[in-house]
Every structure is written in C-alpha cells, then in structure tokens.
C-alpha cells in the first residue's frame, strides 16, 4: 500500500512539475524540449556553457523560427530571433518591454539598486534623463585631452614591461583594464588612479572586488539568470560593502576638496554634484551621487577593457588588418604634427570598422534579457512557422540572442572571419538592421556608448602607432568562455606579444 502511495505521489509531483513545460506548446510556439527542473539551461546548471552560449545554440537550432519558447528552470522565456521582432521589442513597442530582467532592491543595495540598468518604470526614465547630459559629444571633446594623456602613459607602461616585449607575453585584458581604470579616474573623478605605476592601486583593488568573474556577487547574478524565482525568495546585494564604503568615501572627499578649493571641472562628478543642487523631481541625496559615480566606475572600465582586449587580439591574429589600420593611424598622426586630435580620430573609418567588427565577434554581453511590461501580441507573417497570434504575457522574460545574431551567416557572410570592411561605407548601410546589438537598441541602449568607444579607439590608436602585435602561445585556442560570468570572459585570458616600432 505504501509503495502505491509513493508511486502516486511521485507521479503527481512529476505531472505538476511538467505542467508549466506545456506553456509554449499550448500557444503554438516551437522550442526545445525542457529537462525536468532545469528547463533548457541544463548546460549552464552543469557549468558547461554560459546562458548566452546556450541561447546561441538554441538560436542556431531554430533557423527560420522568429520566436522560440524556452524555460529557465521551470519559468517560460522567449528567445526572439527575428530582427524585425527585435525592432518591436526595443523600439516600436518599447512600452511593452521597457525594463531589464535583473532587479536589485535599493534598500538592500543602495548603490547598484540605483543603476539605470536595474531601475524600472518612471524611476528609470527620470534617472536616464538626468544622466544623459553627462555623455554628450561636447563632454567627450572636453575629456579627450585626458584620454590622450592616459594613452601616452599606456604606451610607456607597455614599454616598461619586459614580458610584453621579450616573448613571454602579457594578458591584454589585464593591461587594458589598467588603462580604462585610469581613464575613469581621470575623466569621471579628476583623480590619478595610478594603475600603471602601482601593481595594487586603490582603484585596481576596488575593481578586483567589483566586476570580477571570480567574485561571489557574480555567482549570485549567474544563479538569478538560470533560476529566475531566486529574487522572489532572497534579496540580492551586488555591491560588496567594503567597495560601497570605499567608493562613497573617495567621492565625498573629492567633492569636499573641490568645494574648499573652488575647483570646477566639466566632468561626470561635477554633473552629479550639480544634479544634487538642481534636481526638483525628488531629493537627490549624497547616496544618489555615490550610486551614479559608482555606476560610472563599474561601467566605465569593465566592458571597454573587454572590447579593447578583443580588438588587440583580433589585430594580432590578422596581420593584414593590423598593417592597414597602422597605415591609417600613422597617416593621421603625420598630418597633425604627431598628435591625434579628436576630429582626426573620429574620421578614422578603418579603426571604426575594426572596433565594430571586434564588437560583432566578441560582444561583452552575449545576450540581453528584457521583461514584458505590458501584454504584446506577436502576429505571424505569411508562411510563418507560427500559425496563430501569440500574446506575450506581462512578466515574461524576453531574450535577445546577441551572439546568435552576430555569428549568423545570414547577416554576416563568413562570420568567423575578422572583416572590418563589413562596417565601412556602403557595406555598413547594407547590414540588416537590428542584427547588431553590442550596445542594445532603442531608448534603453547603452548610455555610455560614446565614452566606451572613444577610450577604446584612442587606446588602440596609440598601441598601433607604437607596437606590432602578435599572438603569444599562452592564449588557449579555440577560445572557451567562463560559464558563470555574465560577460564574455575567455578562459586563460588573451596573451599577446608587443614589438616596439622604431
Ligand atoms: C564598449 C563598451 C560598452 C559596451 C559594449 C556596453 C554595452 C551595454 C549593453 C549591452 C547595455 C544594455 C543595453 C540594453 O539593455 O538593451 C548597456 C547598458 C548601459 N551601459 Fe553600457 N556598454 C559599454 C560601455 C559603457 C560605459 C563606458 C558606460 C558609462 C560610463 C556605460 C553605461 C551604461 C548604462 C548606464 C547602461 C544602462 C542603460 C539603461 O538601462 O538605460 N556603458 N551597456
């Protein structure tokens, strides 16, 4: 009798656990078969692949299917493959998909909880409007000489590293991170971050505790991405308490110094300070200033150093592209008395192609997760594999499979080859819109894109002018990626050799 009861209990539990897995079938949306409890993210649960890699596999397995129904653990989510539908999600029907999936409670994490990426609804809108003037092209021109200065120091730093020049190799993400941290220190805070001079400067230590693939908070973000019910059960604190205290201290000391010494700089911190005085929407407190300055700190160095390291890696692998780029850059320096003014840098088309192509091949965010904020109905086109309208319910997670789109031969011929020409002139005009999403799209796209691109371009320009790059054998190829970190992080790093051009 007991045995029968146990069998009935197991069968009933199995039935109810599987019930949710009929969600997409009932709506006529194709998708891969889920595994009990894990859904379609089994490879991520077993740390074999990052969720972005799993979404890329699903993208590849469902050619010509515009939307694919999947499950993250037992929660339904939708992978949007068709660029036309992506346009709807990010722009045309933005009000239906206004928020990002990641949610952080401000009362638990006062700094990251105020980051525009995690803010929702009107709070997001107000903050976005407040921060946008900190990233105008006028501001970029103002900070440009600071970036030039750090780039010259970067060249001297590489020259002073014997391992870079003697064949032992250096890990480029590490040195690019020192470069971007110094830029952030200088451009946002008016401080010398001293990441070239000191092995373990304060900024460097903060970075190690903050956005680091091994850091504990990354494991939490990973768990939330594969088991979406977690935030309903426990609150997530992203910023470690010591980082929170140190950054808040740096910021308040800098502002105090500026006030006592009447220092006015046209930088991001000044913009935040001004907001504190002028904001009428709500009381813009010191915590708001610290939160957005911390946001600039984190956003400013990590993604840009990832992209810059991949740019240098691809140039090392592609000597022809490297010489074409060096020629373009050297010419610009020659025409400007051995300097590279802002307008000259902006005019470098091949450099623009190189950066975009590296962003295409190795986007730091291999997928983007949105949340449906108002019901939206997908209407199938003629000949669609989906035969009936599908209403996406409020609360459903929408996945934009950035890696899948960027590597799809339908949009990028020979996608595994590094071809900067794709992003130059008429070729660029002919690219399929909404198939290139390194910064997202629409009103919620990256706010710091201008700053990110600018610091990458000037850094790469100075490296190209001064060094020839080649791959060091310590780079493990083919590249494989850290499955836990939510950004693209190659295992073992990217190791290059530098040869000084005399
Ligand atoms: C090359 C470097 C960078 C890349 C590839 C990048 C990429 C992204 C992506 C993919 C998003 C999400 C977009 C979406 O949700 O649709 C994002 C959001 C954001 N990024 Fe960046 N980013 C970079 C540099 C920066 C920098 C330098 C800053 C600021 C200093 C910054 C600030 C932000 C902010 C504030 C958001 C949230 C925007 C919002 O939700 O309204 N990013 N970025």
Evaluate whether 415 touches 71 at the Cβ level (below 8 Å): no
In a domain, 481, yes or no: no
Give domain status of residue 33, yes or no: yes
Domain presence at residue 138: no
Query: Which are the contacts of 302, defined by CB distance < 8 A and separation ≥ 6?
Result: 177, 180, 207, 211, 364, 487
CATH code for position 46: 3.30.43.20
Distance from Cα 301 to the centre of ligand 1, integer Å: 11
Q: Residue 330 has what pLDDT? A: 98
Which of the four pLDDT bands, split at 50, 70 and 90, describes residue 255? Answer: confident
Answer whether 438 contacts ligand 1 (Cβ < 6 A). Answer: yes
Checking phi first, is residue 73 left (phi over 0); if not, alpha (psi -120 to 50) or beta? left
Cα-to-centroid distance, 115 and ligand 1 (Å): 11
Q: What is the interface pTM, i.e. ipTM, of the complex?
A: 0.99
Contacts of residue 397, Cβ cutoff 8 Å, sequence gap at least 6? 72, 75, 76, 77, 78, 101, 228, 369, 370, 371, 372
What is the reported pLDDT for 32?
98
Q: Count up the domains in the chain and report the number.
A: 1
Q: What is the mean pLDDT of residues 476-499?
A: 93
pLDDT score recorded for residue 10: 59
Q: Mutation test of ligand 1: which of 97, 309, 446 has the most ligand atoms closer than 8 Å to its C-beta?
A: 446
Report CA(450)–ligand 1 centroid distance (Å): 10
| 3 state SS of 216 | helix
**Whose C-alpha lies nearest to ligand 1, atom 26?**
448
Could you list the residue range(s) of the whole structural domain that residue 61 is in? 1-97+366-437
Confidence of residue 209 (pLDDT cuts 50, 70, 90): confident
| 97 C-beta closer than 6 A to ligand 1 | no
Query: Does residue 62 sit within a domain?
Result: yes
Residue of the CA atom closest to atom 41 of ligand 1: 444
469 within ligand 1 shell (Cβ under 6 A): no
> Using a 6 Å cutoff on CB, does residue 364 contact ligand 1?
yes
Q: Is the Cβ atom of 307 under 6 angstroms away from ligand 1?
A: yes
Q: What is the pLDDT of residue 235?
A: 73
Q: How large is the greatest C-alpha to C-alpha distance in the chain, in angstroms?
A: 92
**Ranges 172-186, 282-296, 447-461: which has the least confidence:** 282-296
pLDDT tens, residue by residue, 375-401: 999 999 999 999 999 999 999 999 999
pLDDT score recorded for residue 481: 92
Residue 144 lies in a domain: no
Query: Is any atom of ligand 1 closer than 6 Å to the C-beta of 439?
Result: yes
Tens digit of each residue's pLDDT (9 = 90 or more) over 52-95: 999 999 999 999 999 999 999 999 999 999 999 999 999 999 99
446 labeled part of a ligand binding site: yes
Whether 13 is in a domain gets the answer yes
**What is the percentage of the chain residues whose pLDDT exceeds 70?**
95
pLDDT, tens digit (0-9, with 9 covering 90-100), for 267-284: 888 889 888 888 887 888
What pLDDT band is residue 258 in, cutting at 50, 70 and 90? confident
268 CB near ligand 1 (under 6 Å): no
The first and second tokens of residue 239, run together, are: 């910023």
- How many whole angstroms separate alpha carbon 257 and alpha carbon 192? 15
- Report the nearest-CA residue for atom 9 of ligand 1: 439
Instruction: Give the number of the atom of ligand 1 that is nearest the alpha carbon of residue 131.
Output: 35
Mutate to test the pocket of ligand 1, among 189, 439, 451, 457 (most ligand atoms within 8 A of CB): 439
Q: Does some domain include residue 228?
A: no
**What pLDDT shows up at residue 16?**
54
331 belongs to a structural domain = no
Residue 259: pLDDT band (50, 70, 90) is: confident
Of 105-119, 412-426, 437-451, minimum mean pLDDT range:
105-119
Q: What gap in Å lies between CA 51 and CA 352, rounded to an integer? A: 29
pLDDT at residue 233, as a whole number: 73
Q: What's the mean pLDDT when you consider all of the chain?
A: 92
Q: Is the pLDDT of residue 238 over 90?
A: no
What are 313-353's pLDDT values in tens digits? Answer: 999 999 999 999 999 999 999 999 999 999 999 999 999 99
| Residues 103-152: tens digit of each pLDDT | 888 888 889 899 999 999 999 999 999 999 999 999 999 999 999 999 99
Instruction: Decide: 353 in ligand 1 pocket, CB within 6 A.
Output: no
Show the tokens assigned to 399: 């996945």
């Amino acid at each position: 009798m007991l045995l029968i009861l146990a069998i009935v209990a197991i069968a009933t539990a199995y039935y109810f656990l599987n019930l949710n897995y009929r969600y997409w079938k009932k709506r006529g949306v194709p998708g891969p078969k889920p595994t009990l409890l894990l859904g379609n993210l089994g490879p991520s649960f077993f740390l074999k692949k990052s969720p972005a890699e799993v979404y890329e596999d699903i993208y590849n397995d469902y050619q010509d299917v515009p939307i694919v129904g999947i499950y993250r653990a037992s929660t339904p989510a939708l992978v949007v493959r068709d660029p036309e539908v992506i346009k709807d999600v990010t722009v045309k029907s933005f009000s239906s998909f206004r928020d990002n999936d990641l949610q952080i409670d401000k009362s638990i994490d006062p700094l990251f909880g105020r980051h525009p990426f995690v803010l929702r609804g009107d709070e997001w809108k107000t903050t976005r409007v407040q921060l946008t003037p900190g990233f105008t092209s006028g501001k970029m021109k103002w900070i440009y000489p600071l970036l030039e200065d750090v780039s010259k120091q970067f060249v001297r730093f590489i020259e002073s590293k014997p391992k870079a020049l003697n064949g032992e190799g250096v890990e480029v993400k590490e040195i690019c991170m020192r470069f971007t941290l110094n830029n952030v220190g200088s451009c946002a805070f008016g401080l010398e971050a001293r990441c070239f001079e000191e092995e373990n400067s304060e900024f460097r230590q903060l970075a190690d505790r903050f956005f680091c693939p091994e850091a504990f908070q990354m494991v939490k973000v990973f768990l939330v991405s594969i088991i979406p019910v977690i935030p309903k059960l426990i609150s997530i604190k992203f910023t470690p308490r010591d980082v929170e205290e140190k950054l808040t201290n740096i910021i308040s000391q800098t502002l105090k110094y500026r006030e006592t010494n009447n220092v006015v700089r046209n930088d991001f911190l000044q913009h935040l300070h001004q907001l504190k005085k002028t904001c009428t929407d709500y009381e813009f407190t010191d915590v708001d200033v610290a939160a957005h300055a911390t946001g600039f700190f984190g956003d400013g160095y990590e993604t840009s150093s990832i992209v810059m390291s991949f740019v240098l890696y691809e140039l090392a692998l592609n000597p022809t592209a490297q010489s074409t780029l060096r020629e373009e850059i050297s010419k610009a320096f020659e025409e400007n008395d051995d300097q590279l003014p802002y307008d000259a840098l902006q005019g470098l088309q091949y450099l623009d192609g190189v950066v975009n192509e590296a962003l295409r091949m190795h986007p730091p965010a291999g997928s983007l997760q949105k949340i449906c904020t108002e019901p939206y109905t997908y209407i199938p086109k003629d000949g669609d594999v989906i035969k009936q309208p599908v209403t996406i319910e409020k609360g459903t997670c929408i996945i934009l499979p950035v890696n899948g789109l960027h590597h799809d031969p339908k949009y990028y011929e020979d996608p595994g080859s590094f071809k900067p020409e794709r992003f130059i002139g008429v070729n660029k005009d002919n690219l399929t819109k909404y198939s290139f999403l390194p910064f997202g799209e629409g009103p919620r796209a990256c706010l710091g894109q201008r700053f990110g691109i600018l610091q990458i371009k000037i850094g790469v320009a100075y490296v190209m002018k001064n060094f020839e790059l080649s791959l060091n054998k310590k780079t493990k190829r083919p590249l494989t990626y850290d499955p836990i970190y939510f950004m693209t992080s190659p295992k073992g790093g990217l190791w290059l050799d530098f040869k000084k051009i005399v």
